[in-house]
C-alpha cells in the first residue's frame, strides 16, 4: 500500500512539474473511453474487427465477432446460450468487458455472458490483449473488450434505418435505428428484437443406438433499446448520456444426454438497464477533465426460482494532461457501490470499491513511445496489491515499401473475489484476489505498393495466474478456494493481402493461427496438463471479393481438440466450419439498401464446443437493410 501511495504521489508530482511547460501538441480531444484508454496502452496488442464484420454478422451476438480474433476462445453452451470469453489460456472471468467505460462483468459471477450482447447494441469493438488491470481494474488478467454504443459526429445529418432478417430454425430478427445530429447535438436511438426456436437437428451420439434428434428446450428471445445523446456545449465541453435496456428470456439448452426429457430443462431470465452520464471539459489548452456517473441494474432470474438483483453506482473522475511536447498524463479516482439482493444469500450484500489510478505516456522520440500505468483498488478484506504495467512501442525506420512497428509490455493484474465466492452458499471469507503476471512481445508489418497491400502481425506472450479460484465439491456443498496456478505461453500470427484489380474489383485474403499452451502448475495429479477447453491450435482463413455492388465472402475456421478434463485423457473433437456469404448493395438518392444471404456451417459439420452440447448444422439466413440519409 505504501509503495502504491508513493507511486501515485510520484505520478502527481510529475504532472505538476510538466504541467508548467508549454505545449505545442494538439489538445486531448473529446473522445470515447476506448480511445482514451488505449492511448496509455503502448506495448499492448490492440485489435478491432472490420466494420464489415459487425455489419455481416448483424443478427448474431458479440461472441461471433470476438471468436474471430486469434488467441481468443469462446465457450458457447449452445446457439444463443451462455457464452464466455477467455484470452490466451486464461479463464472465463479473466476478461473485462467495458461498455462506455462501465464494467459489464456481473459482481456475483465475475464474468459476462456474451450472448446478452447482441451486435445490434454496439457500434464499435476494440480488443486489448494481455493483463490490463493497471488501466481498467479488476478482471483484466487476460484482456479487455471495449464496446461503444455510439460514435458521435457533430455534423448536420439525419439517418433512419430498418434491418430485418430470417434464418433457419425459426430465427427472426429486426432492428430500427435513427440518428439525428447537427453542430451541437448527436442523438442515436435503436430498438431491436431477436428470437429463435433453435429447433435444429443433430446426431445424438450419446444414445446406445445413435439417432438423429431435434434439439428441444433451447428456444430464446432477446430485445432491447439504446439511447445515446451527446451535446456539445461551447467549444470545450461535451455532455453525453448513454442508456441501454436489454432483456433475454431463454431455456437453457440441455445436454444431448437428456435431450427431449420432460421436466429436464432450466430457464434463465436476464434483464439489465445501464445508464452513463459523462461530462468532459477542456479546462485549458493542456487539461481535459472528465467526470461520469453510471447506474447499472441487473436482474438474473434462474429457473423461475433464484433471483439475483444487482444495483451499482459507478462514479469516475480523471484529469488528462498534455505536458510539454512529449508527455501525456492521466490521473483519476473511481468508486463503485454494489448492492446485491438474492435469495442465494442470507442477507442483502453491499460494498464500496474505490480505485486510484495514474497513467503516463511519453514519446521518447517521435517514433518511440513508452507507457506506465499504476492502479490501486481499496476493498475491505480483499484488497489486492497494486497493479502496474509498463509498455514500449516503436516504429522502425521505413525500408522501401515496408513499415514495421514493434511492441513489448509487462503487467501485473488482479481479479477481486466475486460475491458468490464470498457468500454462496456460505462462501469462503478467506478467499483472496487472483493475481496475473503477463509479458509479451509483438511486431506488426505493412507493405504497400502497386502490387497490393500486405499486412502481418506476430505476438509472443507468457503469463501466469496465481491463486486461481476453483470450486470444491463435497457432500457439504460447494466452496471456492485459491488452489490453482496456471502458466500460459504461446503466439499468434496473422497475415492479409489485398489488391485492387480494377476500380470496381477488389480482393482480399487473410489467415491467422494461434498456438496456446495453458499449463496447470499446481502440485497435484494434473500438474503440467493443459487447462480444459483451451484449444492448443486454432486457425482461420478468409477470402473476400467485391465487384461493383456485389460482395462475396468465404471463411473457414479450425478449432483444435480441447481436453474436457484436467487429467487430459479425453477431448472434444476438433472441427472446421466454413461459411459463405453473398451481399448486394444498392443506392438510390437518399436511400441505401443492402441484402445479404449467408450460409453458416456450409458442410453441415457435426461439432461440439462443450462436450455433449449439440450445435446447429448447416443453416441459412437472409437479411436486408434499408437506410435513409439526409444531409443539408
Partner 1 sequence: MKKYSYFFLFILSLAFACTPEENTTPRGKYQNGFFIRNEGNFTDADGEISFFDFESQEVLNRVYASENGQDYTGILQKIRVFGNTTILVDNLGKVETVQTNTFTRLAANEEFTNPRDALFADAHLVVADWGPYDENYNNPTSFLAFLNPSSLTVTKQITIDSRPESLLLVNGEVWVATSASTSLSIVSPVDFEVEKLELPLAPSQVQLDASGKVWAMSSAGMLWKINPQIRTIENTISLSGLAPKSPNGSFAFNEAGDKLYFMTSEYDEFFALSSHVFELSLNQAQPVPQLIAEGANWAGLMIKDEVLYIADNNNYQGNGFVHLYTLEGEKISSHACGRATSGFELIQ
Binding mask 422-461 for partner 1 (x = CB under 8 A): ------xxxx------------------------------
Residue 24 touches partner 1, criterion: CB under 8 A = no
Nearer to partner 1, 165 or 480 (CB): 480
Residue 465 touches partner 1, criterion: CB under 8 A = no
| Range in contact with partner 1 (rule: CB under 8 A) among 161-169, 445-453, 501-509, 567-575 | 567-575
- Least Cβ distance, residue 112 to partner 1 (angstroms): 20
Question: What sign for the dihedral angle of Cα 320, 324, 328, 332?
Answer: negative
Residue 479 touches partner 1, criterion: CB under 8 A = yes
Binding mask 229-258 for partner 1 (x = CB under 8 A): --------------------------x-xx
| Range in contact with partner 1 (rule: CB under 8 A) among 80-88, 180-188, 541-549, 566-574 | 566-574
Nearer to partner 1, 206 or 453 (CB): 206
Residue 503 touches partner 1, criterion: CB under 8 A = no
Contact 564, 583 (CB under 8 A): no
Rounded Cα gap, residues 300 and 89, in angstroms: 28
End-to-end CA distance of the chain: give it in Å, rounded.
Answer: 57
Q: Which of 305, 398, 548, 586 binds partner 1 (CB under 8 A)?
A: 305
Nearer to partner 1, 113 or 320 (CB): 113
Rounded Cα gap, residues 334 and 381, in angstroms: 19
For 464, other C-beta atoms within 10 Å of its C-beta total 18
What part of residues 85-104 is at the interface with partner 1 (CB under 8 A)?
none
Burial of residue 180, with CB atoms counted within 10 A of its CB: 0-12 exposed, 13-18 middle, 19 or more buried: middle
- Least Cβ distance, residue 568 to partner 1 (angstroms): 8
Binding mask 329-368 for partner 1 (x = CB under 8 A): ----------------------------------------
| Range in contact with partner 1 (rule: CB under 8 A) among 34-42, 345-353, 359-367, 465-473 | 465-473
Residue 212 touches partner 1, criterion: CB under 8 A = no
DSSP 12-53: HHHHHHHHTS---SPPPP---HHHHHHTT-TTS-EE---HHH
Nearer to partner 1, 208 or 588 (CB): 208
- Residue 563: CA atoms inside 13 Å, Cβ hemisphere, count? 16
Residue 481 touches partner 1, criterion: CB under 8 A = yes
C-alpha grid cell, residue 108? 456475483
Rounded Cα gap, residues 129 and 112, in angstroms: 17
How big is the site for partner 1, counted in residues (CB under 8 A)? 39
Rounded Cα gap, residues 412 and 91, in angstroms: 16
Residue 567 touches partner 1, criterion: CB under 8 A = yes
- Least Cβ distance, residue 449 to partner 1 (angstroms): 52
| Range in contact with partner 1 (rule: CB under 8 A) among 34-42, 230-238, 389-397, 525-533 | 525-533
| Range in contact with partner 1 (rule: CB under 8 A) among 146-154, 222-230, 388-396, 466-474 | 466-474
- Least Cβ distance, residue 479 to partner 1 (angstroms): 5
- Least Cβ distance, residue 431 to partner 1 (angstroms): 8
Binding mask 190-209 for partner 1 (x = CB under 8 A): ----------------xxx-
Q: Which of 611, 615, 617, 621 binds partner 1 (CB under 8 A)?
A: 611
DSSP 299-351: EEEETTTEEEEEEEEEEEEEEEEEETTTEEEEEEEEEEEEEEEETTSSS-EEE
Contact 84, 117 (CB under 8 A): no
Contact 343, 324 (CB under 8 A): no
Instruction: Please provide residue 375's backbone torsions phi and psi, each rounded to the nearest 5 degrees.
Output: -140, 140
Rounded Cα gap, residues 354 and 374, in angstroms: 14
Rounded Cα gap, residues 183 and 413, in angstroms: 41
C-alpha grid cell, residue 289? 477533465
Nearer to partner 1, 153 or 304 (CB): 304
The two counts, helices (H) then strands (E), for the chain are 6, 33
3-state SS assignment for residue 417 = coil
Chain positions contacting partner 1, by CB under 8 A? 206-208, 255, 257-258, 261-264, 304-305, 428-431, 470, 472-476, 479-481, 524-526, 529, 564-570, 610-612
Amino acid at each position: 500500500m505504501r509503495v502504491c501511495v508513493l507511486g501515485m504521489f510520484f505520478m502527481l508530482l510529475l504532472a505538476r512539474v510538466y504541467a508548467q511547460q508549454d505545449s505545442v501538441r494538439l489538445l486531448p480531444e473529446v473522445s470515447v473511453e476506448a480511445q482514451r484508454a488505449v492511448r496509455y496502452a503502448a506495448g499492448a496488442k490492440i485489435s478491432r474487427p472490420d466494420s464489415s464484420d459487425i455489419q455481416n454478422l448483424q443478427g448474431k451476438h458479440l461472441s461471433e465477432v470476438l471468436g474471430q480474433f486469434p488467441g481468443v476462445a469462446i465457450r458457447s453452451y449452445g446457439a444463443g446460450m451462455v457464452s464466455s470469453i477467455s484470452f490466451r489460456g486464461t479463464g472465463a472471468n479473466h476478461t473485462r468487458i467495458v461498455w462506455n467505460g462501465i464494467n459489464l462483468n456481473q459482481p456475483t459471477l465475475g464474468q459476462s455472458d456474451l450472448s446478452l450482447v447482441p451486435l445490434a447494441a454496439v457500434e464499435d469493438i476494440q480488443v486489448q490483449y494481455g493483463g490490463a488491470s493497471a488501466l481498467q481494474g479488476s478482471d483484466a488478467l487476460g484482456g479487455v473488450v471495449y464496446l461503444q454504443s455510439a460514435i458521435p459526429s457533430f455534423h448536420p445529418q439525419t439517418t433512419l434505418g430498418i434491418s430485418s432478417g430470417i434464418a433457419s430454425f425459426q430465427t427472426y430478427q429486426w432492428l430500427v435505428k435513427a440518428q439525428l445530429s447537427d453542430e451541437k447535438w448527436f442523438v442515436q436511438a435503436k430498438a431491436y428484437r431477436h428470437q429463435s426456436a433453435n429447433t435444429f437437428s443433430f446426431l445424438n451420439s450419446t444414445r446406445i443406438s445413435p439417432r438423429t434428434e431435434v434439439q428441444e428446450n433451447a428456444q430464446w428471445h432477446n430485445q432491447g433499446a439504446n439511447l445515446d445523446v451527446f451535446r456539445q456545449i461551447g467549444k470545450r465541453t461535451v455532455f453525453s448520456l448513454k442508456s441501454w435496456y436489454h432483456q433475454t428470456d431463454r431455456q437453457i439448452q440441455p445436454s444431448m444426454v437428456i435431450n427431449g426429457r420432460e421436466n429436464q430443462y432450466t430457464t434463465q431470465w436476464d434483464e439489465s438497464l445501464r445508464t452513463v452520464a459523462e461530462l468532459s471539459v477542456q479546462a485549458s489548452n493542456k487539461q481535459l477533465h472528465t467526470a461520469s456517473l453510471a447506474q447499472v441494474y441487473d436482474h438474473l432470474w434462474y429457473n423461475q426460482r433464484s433471483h439475483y438483483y444487482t444495483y451499482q453506482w459507478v462514479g469516475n473522475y480523471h484529469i488528462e494532461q498534455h505536458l510539454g511536447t512529449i508527455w501525456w498524463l492521466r490521473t483519476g479516482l473511481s468508486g463503485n457501490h454494489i448492492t446485491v439482493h438474492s435469495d442465494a444469500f442470507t442477507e442483502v450484500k453491499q460494498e464500496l470499491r474505490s480505485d486510484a489510478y495514474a497513467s503516463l505516456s511519453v514519446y521518447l522520440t517521435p517514433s518511440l513511445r513508452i507507457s506506465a500505468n499504476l492502479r490501486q483498488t481499496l476493498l475491505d478484506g480483499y484488497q489486492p496489491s497494486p497493479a502496474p504495467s509498463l509498455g514500449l512501442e516503436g516504429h522502425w525506420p521505413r525500408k522501401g515499401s515496408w513499415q514495421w512497428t514493434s511492441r513489448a509490455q509487462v503487467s501485473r493484474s488482479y481479479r477481486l473475489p466475486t460475491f458468490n465466492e464470498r457468500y454462496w452458499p456460505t462462501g469462503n471469507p478467506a478467499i483472496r484476489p487472483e493475481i496475473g503476471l503477463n509479458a509479451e512481445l509483438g511486431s506488426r508489418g505493412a507493405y504497400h505498393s502497386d502490387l497490393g497491400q500486405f499486412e502481418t502481425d506476430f505476438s509472443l506472450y507468457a503469463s501466469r495466474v496465481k491463486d486461481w479460484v476453483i470450486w470444491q465439491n463435497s457432500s457439504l456443498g460447494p466452496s471456492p478456494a485459491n488452489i490453482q496456478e496456471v502458466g500460459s505461453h504461446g503466439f499468434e500470427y496473422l497475415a492479409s493481402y489485398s489488391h485492387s484489380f480494377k476500380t470496381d474489383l477488389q480482393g482480399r485474403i487473410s489467415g491467422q493461427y494461434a498456438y496456446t499452451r495453458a499449463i496447470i502448475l499446481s502440485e497435484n495429479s494434473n500438474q503440467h496438463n493443459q487447462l480444459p477447453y483451451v484449444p492448443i491450435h486454432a486457425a482461420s482463413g478468409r477470402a473476400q471479393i467485391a465487384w461493383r455492388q456485389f460482395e462475396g465472402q468465404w471463411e473457414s475456421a479450425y478449432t483444435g481438440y480441447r481436453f474436457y478434463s484436467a487429467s487430459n485423457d479425453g477431448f472434444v473433437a476438433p472441427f472446421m466450419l466454413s461459411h459463405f456469404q453473398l451481399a448486394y448493395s444498392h443506392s438510390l438518392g437518399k436511400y441505401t439498401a443492402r441484402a445479404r444471404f449467408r450460409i453458416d456451417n456450409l458442410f453441415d459439420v457435426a461439432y461440439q464446443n462443450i462436450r455433449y452440447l449439440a450445435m446447429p448444422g448447416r443453416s441459412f439466413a437472409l437479411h436486408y437493410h434499408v437506410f435513409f440519409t439526409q444531409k443539408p
